[in-house]
Copies of this chain bind each other. A is one copy, B any other.
Amino acid sequence: MIPSKAYAELKKRMMEISMLNSTAGVLHWDQEAYLPAKAVDHRAEQLAQISRLTHEWFTAPQVGELMDTIEASDLITDCESAEAVNVREWRRMYERETKLPVDLVEDFVRTTSKASSIWAEARKKSDFSLFQPSLERIVDLCRRKADFIGYDKEKYEALLDEFEPRAKVADIEKIYSGLRTELVELIGKIKDAPRKPDIGIIKRPYDLTRQKVFAESVSQAIGYDYKAGRFDEAVHASCNEMGPLDVRVLTRYYTDDIAEGLTSAMHEVGHALYDMTRPNKVHWGTPMGETASLGIHESQSRLWENMVGRSNEFWQYFFPQLQQLFRKELAGATRDDFYGAMNWVSPSYIRVEADEATYNLHVMLRFDMERAIIAGDIKVSDIPGEWNKRFKDYFGFEVNNDANGCLQDIHWSHGIFGYFPTYTLGNLYAAQYWSQALKDLPNLLDDFKRGQFSRLFEWLGEKIHTPGSKYDAPDLCRRVTGSKLSHKPLLDYLYEKYSGIYGISRN
């Protein structure tokens, strides 16, 4: 077969897979938002069927043969061409997927699809034992998966690679250790700071409907396109891409906390802006239209959530609007009060509610736990005890129950091990990109004061979104910022912000 024909045939097959996966996306979204209780088992079967089909299609011997033909040709000479990038990534995934037996793939989907409602129940009752049998099956499936895929040093690496292609545990450990030291120092300074904001302004009853109205209007202002997506509510906030122009956000609002619902909505909108901007029309369904890594994807959500959504300039524009909606609740409050409260730092149980300084400690804790669980060093039944012990070591106080401890996150119920490190990578990339954006875009923060976010959105579109998977994550970072990933920009950013609010200094 001539190489261009082989590529056309390969792409056609891959587009079929992407199309059916986008249908699975609708099933997932519906499961989180609307699925009736008794329909859980059937939904698991629907998802298992799609996984089996796409796995079979993807791992067909013809796919390997088509790639052989293309790889042996000059069609991929230009390593930045769509052909070269797509075949490079398809090859990487093919080598992973062909190692997995179809039974395992199907069992994985079926098991995890049922597990999330069991996890939700266990968390509600704060009873790990309810979730334990499901988690045992999931851990076993993950360990078997890692064995099939293969690894150099530890099983965990095989799982990590799915989310952060080509990342190595050793590299992550290295960057984490420098970060941890500096974060602990920063948190210590804040603990003893000469002045502190009052969190009270945020932690009071706020009407849920008006929170929703505000979050949706902010999302529209920063660029979310409601004709290519929608907001619904679920137990767990998320961003769900289910087509090139169908990127839906799930949110959750809290009666006694106005920050949590809003910032998590902005977080998911950050993901959505990426999914809505990637070169969708041309490259949707191929790696050229996908993200380079979940760390890169997360950098977009964190940048909008934190660098934008917790900035002084952002609230210069939005605080008066918030006051209009919540006259009574915000009577007598100043913008400075609110900005300070939005940047309140204090160690807490829950990662997703954590401030920017302590957040990464949660991720490091989970990274340690996951590695030990997958290595077989921690038995599933020992997870709560181990979690609580390590939590105290990281944060200096005791976890009060499983819901606030090892049951807090949905990921394990979805069979996701190896994903957590991408959260901290996302924070680091976000800070490094943000630092570059401030250099590239003069007076960017003045835009925010006027409710203008398009210069930033366009810069991100050009620098981060449009390349898709053309460069791998570390390479993209070097190209955009001129340096390799470091924890320094994040610390610089945090110190600059917190010095103003807490009156602390770096040295």
Using a CB–CB distance below 8 Å, which chain A residues touch chain B? 16, 19-20, 22-23, 26-27, 30, 34-39, 41-43, 45-46, 49-50, 225-230, 232, 242-246, 248
Do the beta carbons of B232 and A36 come within 8 Å of each other? no
Q: Report if A34-B232 is in contact (Cβ < 8 Å); known contacts: A19-B46, A39-B246, A46-B19.
A: yes
Do the beta carbons of A246 and B23 come within 8 Å of each other? no
What residues of chain B lie closer than 8 Å to A23, measured between beta carbons? 23, 27, 46, 49-50
Q: Report if A37-B243 is in contact (Cβ < 8 Å); known contacts: A26-B27, A46-B23.
A: no
What residues of chain B lie closer than 8 Å to A243, measured between beta carbons? 39, 42-43, 46
Q: Whole-angstrom distance from the CB of A171 to the nearest CB of chain B?
A: 38
Do the beta carbons of A36 and B244 come within 8 Å of each other? no
What residues of chain B lie closer than 8 Å to A16, measured between beta carbons? 49
What residues of chain B lie closer than 8 Å to A248, measured between beta carbons? 36
Q: Whole-angstrom distance from the CB of A246 to the nearest CB of chain B?
A: 4
Q: Whole-angstrom distance from the CB of A220 to the nearest CB of chain B?
A: 13
- 30 A-B Cβ contacts within 8 A? A19-B45, A19-B46, A19-B49, A22-B42, A22-B46, A23-B23, A23-B46, A23-B49, A23-B50, A26-B26, A26-B30, A30-B30, A34-B230, A35-B246, A36-B226, A36-B227, A36-B229, A36-B230, A36-B245, A37-B227, A37-B228, A38-B245, A38-B246, A39-B228, A39-B242, A39-B243, A41-B245, A42-B243, A43-B243, A46-B243
Count copies of this chain in the complex: 2
What residues of chain B lie closer than 8 Å to A38, measured between beta carbons? 225, 227-228, 245-246
Q: How far is the CA of A246 from the CA of B41 in the complex (A)?
A: 10
Closest B residue, CB atoms, query A27: B26
Q: How far is the CA of A40 from the CA of B22 in the complex (A)?
A: 13
Q: Whole-angstrom distance from the CB of A61 to the nearest CB of chain B?
A: 20
Q: Whole-angstrom distance from the CB of A497 to the nearest CB of chain B?
A: 36
Q: How far is the CA of A270 from the CA of B34 in the complex (A)?
A: 21
What residues of chain B lie closer than 8 Å to A45, measured between beta carbons? 19
Q: How far is the CA of A36 from the CA of B227 in the complex (A)?
A: 5
What residues of chain B lie closer than 8 Å to A232, measured between beta carbons? 34
Do the beta carbons of A246 and B42 come within 8 Å of each other? yes
What residues of chain B lie closer than 8 Å to A226, measured between beta carbons? 36
Q: How far is the CA of A10 from the CA of B278 in the complex (A)?
A: 43
Closest B residue, CB atoms, query A280: B42
Q: How far is the CA of A35 from the CA of B34 in the complex (A)?
A: 14
Q: Whole-angstrom distance from the CB of A79 to the nearest CB of chain B?
A: 30
